[in-house]
Structure 1
Amino acid sequence: MQLATRVLQFLGFAACAVRVSADSRCFTEDFLFGSATASYQVEGAVKEGGRTPSIWDEYCRTQPGLKCANVADDFYHRYKDDVKLMVETGLQSFRFSVSWSRVMNWDAQTSRMRPNPEGISFYHSLIDELSSNGIVPILTIYHWDLPIELHTQLREEGWLGSEIIDHYVEYATLLFNEYGNKVNYWTTFNEPLSFVAGGYALGMGAPGYTGSLTQAYTAAHNVLLSHAHAVKKFRELKTTNAIGDKARIGIVLNADYAYPLDESDPDDVEAAARKMEFDVGWFLSPIVTGDYPPIMRKIVGDRLPQFYGDQSELVKGSYDLFMLNSYAARQVTSCNSKTSNKDCGTLSAGFEQDRAVDDSHIIPGTRQRSTKAQKDPHCAFFTAYPPGYLETIKWLHKHDTSADILLTENGWCGDDEIDNPDQLWYFQAYLEQVHKAITEEHIPVIGYTAWSFLDNYEWGSYESRFGLYYVNYTSESGSPDFYQPKPSDLARIPRPSAKWFQKVATSKCLNADETSATTTKTHESGGHSHHVWRWLFGIVAIAAVGFVA
């Protein structure tokens, strides 16, 4: 019955895609079609312009098998040409992050970060270039690249200590004052689940800690308080005209929808709900209600920090819109169920054992990794089940039906090829779900952001390729000692999805013929594998670290 239900659901989706040709599948004129990158993943120039090291510059050098991002896509030097490509691709928005250690440097005498004018100037130039070409900048304040001194020089390391809150608010305030009248969309953090659970629970990303019963919860608490204080400062500055009247701020959360493995089994239903609360509610519930989800309070107990005094009211309502990254969907059961592929005892102590789920089950009808990427551990989790995208959007929407939703990342993990039909199919199929969310569910989705604009550094690897544009990396890419690419290196080559995206972005309408032509193809799985650390929190064994975001 479960298999039949899933197959029928998928066939229903495919049939809907075929019917597109008979209907008008258009978005409103103000809907934002965009793409995204992140500072450490594309900029390179790690020793230029006054930039100092981040925790990822250290982490990639100390972990066996990881590559570094000294050069990455060399976006720091090539951004003007890349903006021209954005215009050619029809982008109306571009999401990027600021490198904290590029705009601020550590001052050993004051034990504070101080502004770096050259780094600040770079982002002024980037924002101005985007705006002058009619592209809306979406600025991410923190995308995982913590300045190394904030990890090594404070009383407690990085996000594990409350000292970090003041440092973060000083940094955010600098950006608000510098770019406040140039940027209308702000996000405080990208995917706190990923860098908190990955870095402080699972040992799958900087700083690489695992085994603690409390570290992830402590780090998450400090992230939430940093976010809330920054939003408070943002709103104060709006009253002084330092920030434009139309500017809005939020926090980017990541969610991949959890279906019960057996919808008739109450334990599986509860496991799926528990996964959503631990993965998303952990950060969503505090900003909506002022506290963590009740299920987390029940399971984690006194290991989960409290919001004291006015902290609950500070955190509650600290968003102007919802922002969502989502890529995949899975079936879920409890780790102690008879159908589980994981023994609870094999899960990492703390967050993973508290969540206690097995989310490795593939939904019937799911499209697996690209054929040539079957052996790439980085792409294992990035499977495609389009109906799950709509369910994720609906799940988020029900927490505040008045909040606009900006879709800030969505994309396909491909391989080292330019013509990637799976990627094209993915964007077509998932944008169908976005259109459904707006027209059938009446959810106020205001924009869609493809991850990523360019192939880029995926947190330890260059093998996972998400770009609308293929990047021609060299054998030296990723070397910890490589800093100067040749002008002929790193050529950008448009994939078919870039050309299709341009048509959709400029017409604001989906092309039914192209969509229906590719909806029925599926791939066989090569078995269960590992995944990029930023989403695969259910799989502990991992061959290499990576992420999109």
Structure 2
Amino acid sequence: MLSLRFLAVAAVFTLSTSSATETDNSTLCFSSNFLFGTASSAYQIEGGWNATNKEPSIWDNFCRDTSNGVPCANVADDFINRYPSDVALMKTDGYDTFRFSISWGRAMSWNETTQRMHGNPEGLAFYHSLIDELLASGIQPVMTLYHWDLPATLQSAFDPPGWLNSAMVDHFVDYATLLFQEFGQDVEYWTTFNEPASFILTGFAFGYGPPKLGNSTTNAYEVTHNVLLSHAAAVEKFHELRDAGTVKSSARISIVINSDWGVPLNESFSEDIAAAERKNQFHLGWFLSPLTTGDYPQVMRERIGDRLPNFTEEQSKQVNGSYDLLMLNYYASYATTDCDSERSETNCSSLTLGWASDLGVDDSRNPDGARHAYGSLMDPNSCESDSGYPPGYLQLIRFMHKHDTSAEILLTENGWCGNETINNPDQLWYLRTHLEQVHKAIYEENIPIIGYTVWGFMDDFEWTNYAGRRGLYFVNFTETTGDIDEYTALPTELARIQRSAGAWYSNVATSGCFQQEEEDKQYLV
């Protein structure tokens, strides 16, 4: 952490402190080695969609099919050209970490003769330059290997295609090995996949995201199995290269798991309590349980039956414990009841075939007391599915911690979805109240959390639109942003303007402390 402090707090606190570190009744402080950072992904911010000999991804192809109604990210934030100035802002703001992903199709190119991907020197050079810039600025890179942008050639090379094929395990290990060899001495924190549940549900369960292979009783589960085996094999290779000295000895690896939190719609009904627990097992437990036990949650085995793949004994041992720490993303909570209960507003027959119908809940409402995000359900570019419910964050952290009480946790994404507003009191409220839950988890419940990460550093392409704004920095996207034939941006476009919540979070990062309520107003100018 940088030495700048806006609150004069002399005491140094460690993660082993069991009591809350408060300088007064309203100020909360974190240990001096706590990591404050921001997050992003390659496809959402980089641009340069065909620069550095980059191969098209499934998202590049998806946006070019106009029937999908999704804008492109040919330019996005133009990070590939503007990263030096963006890293300079991160340094000024005092952030300790920057989580970003590697574009597989930028780092590697398809070789038709070998039917394998091979390293692309020009693309790798970009990531070397980015990492050098971060390290020179005192910022630790947190590298994600896969954030959903599968090279299109890997999607079409097999039958069944892409992640439905177990051949992807070897291809992913090839990719991971290249990155471990290239960046192993420079990167401290690694993650194999970001939010596998998200790209699996959108692409293989609900089917509205690439590769649009939903409405199946098995696809989501088969892809999950291949992703977990890919992750475990990559972690095994990482540990092998770390033992050999190719990867530095202090480096650690994991997989970023995401989940919202299921709250019983009415705690007076045992059925709602059971439905919420089932939702949490189908979300977080779906990936966390194999990591900590070697198998899927029992409730998934019971409800899905033989459509849920089985791990061999060898695979179970490989997946179990395939992490050096745990990583977690959280945004929102949802009130939950069975889809066939009298309190349900969702008919069971309307649930998408497969994962959703197997889960069998109505989780379409936010809990009482939640703060609603920008937009409406009638606006596909809104953030209506998000909400601010701070207690859900602590509950989710507890749920993860109970699966392995010895594992440290890095919180890898959390943030508010709003509109273009610069001085957004909701965004500031969201970050403050959720950081309060993190502080409580560490200092009242002794959960070993080592860092907190805001999504995102700046506004970006949010997978279906540019309207939902999550950035600490506003970006002035133009009317042509997202057009299929947009390939460049003028220097005067895409300017970064710090939001009030960004100024607040910068002060938290540089001081290690924040006030619980009273200080908000000074940032909303």
Write the letter of the residue equivalent to 1:345: S
Deviation per CA, 1:383-404, whole angstroms, max 9, x where unpaired?
Answer: 0011111111111111000010
Q: 2:251 aligns with which of 244, 247, 268?
A: 247
Given that 1:44 and 1:76 are in contact with CA atoms closer than 8 Å, whether structure 2 keeps it comes out as yes
- 1:21-420 alignment to 2 at 5 Å? 21-22=24-25, 24-62=27-65, 63-370=67-374, 375=379, 377-420=381-424
Write the letter of the residue equivalent to 1:247: A
Structure 1 runs (4+) deviating above 3 angstroms are 370-378, 512-518
Given that 2:70 and 2:465 are in contact with CA atoms closer than 8 Å, whether structure 1 keeps it comes out as yes
1:511 Cα shift?
2.3
1:257 Cα shift?
1.1
Given that 1:140 and 1:189 are in contact with CA atoms closer than 8 Å, whether structure 2 keeps it comes out as yes
Given that 1:428 and 1:515 are in contact with CA atoms closer than 8 Å, whether structure 2 keeps it comes out as no
Distance 2:460 2:395 in 1: 29
Q: 2:436 aligns with which of 429, 432, 443?
A: 432
Write the letter of the residue equivalent to 2:474: Y
Compute the TM-score of the two structures, normalised by the length of structure 1.
0.89
Residue 510 in structure 1 maps to residue 514 in structure 2: yes
Write the letter of the residue equivalent to 1:54: S
Distance 2:309 2:68 in 1: 34
1:360 Cα shift?
1.2
Gaps of 5+ in 1: 1-16, 519-549
Q: Give secondary structure in 1 for the equivalent of 2:387.
A: coil
Write the letter of the residue equivalent to 2:229: L
1:372 Cα shift?
9.7
Distance 2:102 2:35 in 1: 21
Distance 1:513 1:30 in 2: 24
Given that 1:253 and 1:324 are in contact with CA atoms closer than 8 Å, whether structure 2 keeps it comes out as yes
Given that 1:36 and 1:94 are in contact with CA atoms closer than 8 Å, whether structure 2 keeps it comes out as yes
1:116 Cα shift?
0.2
Distance 1:96 1:369 in 2: 25
Write the letter of the residue equivalent to 1:420: N
1:317 Cα shift?
0.3
1:514 Cα shift?
3.7
**Bigger Cα displacement from structure 2, 504-513 vs 431-440:** 504-513
1:264 Cα shift?
2.3
Gaps of 5+ in 2: 1-19
1:20 Cα shift?
8.6
Compute the TM-score of the two structures, normalised by the length of structure 2.
0.93
1:439 Cα shift?
0.7
Distance 1:115 1:448 in 2: 32
Deviation per CA, 1:115-154, whole angstroms, max 9, x where unpaired?
Answer: 1001111111111100110001100000000000111111
Q: Give secondary structure in 2 for the equivalent of 1:481.
A: coil
Distance 2:23 2:158 in 1: 56
* Identity between Structure 1 and Structure 2 (%): 52
- In structure 2, the residue matched to 1:12 is none
Q: Give secondary structure in 1 for the equivalent of 2:343.
A: coil
Distance 2:447 2:184 in 1: 28
1:428 Cα shift?
0.9
Q: Do the aligned partners of residues 421 and 375 (structure 1) sit closer, same or farther apart at CA in structure 2, a change above 3 Å counting? A: farther
Given that 2:233 and 2:318 are in contact with CA atoms closer than 8 Å, whether structure 1 keeps it comes out as yes
Distance 1:301 1:374 in 2: 36
1:43 Cα shift?
0.1
| Count of residues in Structure 1 that have an aligned counterpart in Structure 2 | 501
Over aligned residues, Cα RMSD in angstroms? 1.7
Given that 1:429 and 1:515 are in contact with CA atoms closer than 8 Å, whether structure 2 keeps it comes out as no
Given that 1:373 and 1:415 are in contact with CA atoms closer than 8 Å, whether structure 2 keeps it comes out as no
Q: Give secondary structure in 2 for the equivalent of 1:25.
A: strand
Given that 2:39 and 2:455 are in contact with CA atoms closer than 8 Å, whether structure 1 keeps it comes out as yes
Q: Give secondary structure in 2 for the equivalent of 1:493.
A: strand
Distance 1:167 1:414 in 2: 38
1:64 Cα shift?
3.1
Deviation per CA, 1:409-455, whole angstroms, max 9, x where unpaired?
Answer: 00000102222111111111111111111111110010000000010
Distance 1:479 1:325 in 2: 30
1:376 Cα shift?
5.8
Distance 2:519 2:442 in 1: 18
Distance 2:161 2:234 in 1: 20
Given that 2:376 and 2:383 are in contact with CA atoms closer than 8 Å, whether structure 1 keeps it comes out as no
Distance 1:514 1:482 in 2: 45
Distance 1:22 1:284 in 2: 36
Write the letter of the residue equivalent to 1:26: C
